[in-house]
A and B are shown apart, each in its own frame.
Chain A
């Protein structure tokens, strides 16, 4: 009889594994191609869910970058007693410059302060009403960048002790507040990413669950003719993979388009602040991470669902 022939050799497990993965890869792609709209909608929902935390991440990183560039403006102002002479003040500035952790120290005399105030504040005429110059002489101290906060505080304490100094003020509080806000924002991005990551898994899980329900008979038949769990599971895992990949790509696209749309107004705002800062979009590495996150979430969401659903389907 025709079908009675020598038994076939099975290829080794690696060849079998590869062959089946390639088969399912194209099979699952073909399935998506047959219902492109449904698949596109699922991918879009996932894309939006991924784009939200990614967009927040980009926003927080931009704010961090801006505030980091403001670190240059960090200054300790030493307001000198009125009794200190201009010569002594200049000498003090030189002495302070040799202190550990100090990048710069400049003496600003009372007259210089007055001139500066007159030209910058817009209250120059009000000063004319005063008989005396109300402004003290100042030594403006710029600490070295990237110092731990404690070091800067210690420097401030040391400078306060100087006999010539009336008052030492660290112009940092607002920056600290900004950092605190950014730290909260970063944490919030983490939380949002976690929640929306779960949402992605649920979305994909639900899509896969419906797919499993629709193909219940097929799964039963496959189990009947001896398909192992991995074989039955594989097409669904690949569906999750494709949804995750599509969602990740869409998320990248959404974030990139959004940053491109914000670029011009952002640049305008920066110009108003005298900065040439430009909004940084998603970098290549971030984009790849985002896509990878989509794939991992899609696959994991599918795996959890399939593992739970497939044991429930046994041939009758």
Chain B
């Protein structure tokens, strides 16, 4: 299995001086799907931001899709980012444009012919079950549907790697499970998927490899559901 992402003793420190990630090393193979878990502030988002070149590592080597990110020039960052599919907790859609235009945007940026764009966008919308919504504005959709639009936008360029930051954070359990299922489907089609999430129940429902962060380090601990957290606390008191 070829490596798609390789962290080699990567550290990230805020300009203020606080370490967010310290000596993180792991690798993700092509076609793999993994959850990044850990409490708030453990560095999950930072880890995804490093991969998407939204910030640069303070120390260490980070290679993504064969590209060493520490040597990537700023003007080549957009072209690199075009090779990723990004999904966000707050969807990050353009609310003055139709669902179709939102999903088409990555293709428009890359300059595909309009006839090809139309086919691709409809195929992407079809794969998230929103083909009948292409002409509506995102605000008229439910949260789950908006997130599926975001996913369609992420996969429309057929990236080898999808990064999702708390994709189900704003969704009810049913929608959240549906969204996670669609990630799993893309993974089965050969796409590498990396998801930062708090949603223990979803991880348990759709088990995959887990990279658990605590205080900027990878640990062997595993995330705990709220119900069991209470039991653990009770044990501690006793």
Residues of A within 8 A of B (CB): 1-5, 7-8, 10-11, 13, 15-17, 19-20, 23, 218, 220-229, 231, 314-315
Contacts and interface: CB of A to CB of B under 8 A. Distances in A.
B111 A3 contact: no
Given A3-B158, A8-B112, A19-B113, A224 B78 contact: no
A221 B94 contact: yes
Contacts of A220: 92
B158 A20 contact: no
B106 interface: yes
Interface of B: 52, 54, 75, 78-84, 86, 88, 92-94, 96, 105-106, 108-114, 116, 120, 123-124, 126-127, 153, 155-156, 158, 185-186, 189-190
Given A3-B120, A20-B108, A226-B83, 18 more contacts: A1-B189, A2-B123, A3-B123, A4-B190, A11-B111, A19-B113, A218-B96, A220-B92, A221-B92, A224-B54, A225-B81, A225-B109, A226-B82, A226-B84, A227-B105, A228-B75, A231-B109, A315-B54
B79 A228 contact: yes
Contacts of A222: 105, 109
A10 B157 CA distance: 12
Contact of A226 (B88, B109, B124): B109
A10 B108 CA distance: 11
A312 to B, nearest CB: 14
Contacts of B186: 1
B77 to A, nearest CB: 8
B108 A23 contact: yes
A3 B155 contact: yes
Nearest to B185: A1
Contacts of B75: 228-229
Nearest to A17: B111
A4 B52 CA distance: 23
B55 to A, nearest CB: 9
A222 B78 CA distance: 10
B141 to A, nearest CB: 17
A11 B106 CA distance: 15
A228 B156 contact: no
Contacts of B110: 10
B125 to A, nearest CB: 9
Contacts of A226: 78-84, 106, 109
A226 B185 CA distance: 24
A4 B183 CA distance: 14
A74 B82 CA distance: 75
15 contacts: A2-B123, A2-B126, A3-B123, A3-B124, A3-B155, A3-B158, A5-B123, A7-B158, A10-B110, A11-B112, A218-B94, A220-B92, A221-B94, A222-B109, A228-B78
Closest 10 CB pairs of A and B: A16-B111, A226-B81, A226-B82, A228-B78, A3-B123, A3-B127, A2-B126, A2-B123, A227-B109, A221-B92
Contact of A11 (B52, B81, B113, B156): B113
B46 to A, nearest CB: 12
A11 B116 CA distance: 10
Contacts of B80: 226
B127 A1 contact: yes
B86 A224 contact: yes
Contacts of A5: 123
Nearest to A11: B113
A23 B237 CA distance: 65
Nearest to B191: A4
Contact of B153 (A2, A225, A315): A225
A228 B116 CA distance: 21
Nearest to A6: B158
A3 B121 CA distance: 9
A197 B123 CA distance: 50
B218 to A, nearest CB: 25
A231 B86 CA distance: 19
A225 B101 CA distance: 14
Nearest to A7: B158
A225 B113 contact: no
B59 to A, nearest CB: 22
B123 A225 contact: no
Given A4-B189, A10-B112, A20-B111, A225 B106 contact: yes
A15 B111 CA distance: 8
Contact of A10 (B79, B96, B111, B120): B111
A222 B105 CA distance: 8
Given A8-B120, A225-B86, A315-B54, A2 B127 contact: yes
